[in-house]
Structure 1
Amino acid sequence: MFLTGPTHSATMSEAFDCAKCGESLYGRKYIQTDGGPHCVPCYDNTFANTCAECQQLIGHDSRELFYEDRHFHEGCFRCCRCQRSLADEPFTCQDNELLCNDCYCSAFSSQCSACGETVMPGSRKLEYGGQTWHEHCFLCTGCEQPLGSHSFVPDKGGHYCVPCYENKFAPRCARCSKTLTQGGVTYRDQPWHRECLVCTGCQTPLAGQQFTSRDDDPYCVACFGELFAPKCSSCKRPITGGTRVKKQGG
């Protein structure tokens, strides 16, 4: 704040000098400090900070901005790329350089693989396979619902929620037509749930057991022998053959 010293018409018997250079402040502007009055040049040279950008003193009549132990003239506090003033704008400091949000996003932010727009710093995003998506843009290829934090299965450039992937790609049981999500057995080159492959006669599970078939229907050895197998002329017991199923998917 400027003050003005008394004029020559005032009493000259009392000294009123600059505390730094000793020159009289009568009739001159001065700035009062704890160390006494200072003429304007001495005040600037003694107390003014140096601008981190232009390396000039920030005078008493300049608006001064302060950021991370650095002082700036208002006009020097600007984006290092587009030179936009940052005095009243949001900004980011990258590698000790000041950047407006637009320049920072253009240089350092990712582009959404779905919509092509910038993924703004601090916004929710998903990253997979070296690509980035806005959270709301990362959709199931099947049902087009956001995958968010849900499990998904990548396939041929698409991303599927588990239900859609199973409906589209998972093998289906030859008996119940429902998907096999794990395990299962193969019979006549078709996938079956282990619990679905049962004897047509007694409903005994056949997975891992020897069995045979008639008209494509599987039978355990005992049922087939009782129902269809020829009897031994000597012992009268059924003459049967067996097949062991192969496991599918472990």
Structure 2
Amino acid sequence: MSEPMSICHKCNEVIQQRIITALGKTWHPEHFACKDCQRPISEATFNIQADEPVCSDCFVKNYSGTCFGCKQPILERTIKAMEKSWHEDCFVCNGPCKKPLVGTSFYERDGHPYCRTDFEQLFAARCAGCGNPITENAIVALNAKWHRECFQCKKCNTPITASSFAVEDNKPLCTACSG
């Protein structure tokens, strides 16, 4: 009982000697070539495009994206975010923490991603009372923004909840202390 004949995927002729099996097909070694540059692929690793082999050089030149973070070709998993391509390791917070952002929510500013903490520290409005970022509702008064709990009488430190209040040295006074 003889073995079935192997037919080359490229030339459709019988393969008599050395054989390459790849992508579920058989090839003469000289015919296992890059679909773009036509040079035989001799490396152990190769890439695939349209179910055909592609050499590493052509893959980098013709198919790989460029990482927005490091500006190098992306040869492995690509992260798509903010209409850009990234290496998984390059998609990190642009703030001081540099935490990985893959699989998390993030904020965008000027084309760069940020984690929530760094985004708030860098870009959120600051409270005129305590100086910390305002991330929820704010009171707008005296040409500034305030946390609700920070908008308080400068004399008795009671939060001002009434719609009317007095002002002294550009700080709020409750009606009881202004009288």
The answer, yes or no, to whether TM exceeds 0.5 is yes
Q: CA RMSD in A?
A: 2.8
How far the C-alpha of 1:103 sits from its partner, in A, is: 2.0
Q: 5+ unaligned residues in a row in structure 2: which ranges?
A: none
Report % sequence identity: 30
Deviation at 1:134, TM superposition (A): 1.9
User: How many equivalent residue pairs?
Assistant: 178
2:33 maps to what in 1? 78
Please tell me whether the aligned partners of residues 115 and 137 of structure 1 are also in contact (alpha carbons under 8 angstroms): yes
1:120 equivalent to 2:79? Answer: no
User: Partner residue of 2:110?
Assistant: 156
**Equivalent pair of 1:135/1:146 in contact (CA under 8 Å):** no
Instruction: Provide Cα deviations, 1:22-76, integer angstroms capped at 9, x if missing partner.
Output: xxxxxxxxxxxx37xxxxxxxxxx95332221122222xx112233443222221
Match of 1:131 in 2: 84
Q: Contact between 1:136 and 1:148, CA under 8 Å: does it hold in 2?
A: no
Which residue is 1:181 aligned to? Answer: 135
Structure 1, unpaired ranges of 5+: 1-33, 36-45, 229-250
**For residue 54 of structure 1, what is the amino acid of its counterpart?**
C
Asked if the contact 1:166–1:181 (Cα under 8 Å) also holds between the matched residues in 2, the reply is yes
Question: Is the 8 Å Cα contact of residues 140 and 146 (structure 2) preserved in structure 1?
Answer: yes
Contact in 2 for aligned 1:184/1:192 (Cα 8 Å): yes
Residue 204 of structure 1 pairs with residue 158 of structure 2:
yes
CA 1:222–1:118 in structure 2 vs 1: closer, same or farther (change >3 Å)? same
The separation in 1 between residues aligned to 2:35 and 2:70, in whole angstroms, is: 29
- What TM-score, normalized by structure 1, do the two folds share? 0.60
Contact 1:173 1:191 (8 Å CA) reproduced: yes
Q: Please list the CA deviations of residues 85-136 of structure 1 after superposition, one character each: whole Å capped at 9, or x if unmatched.
A: 3355212332232212332232222111232211113x4x432222112233
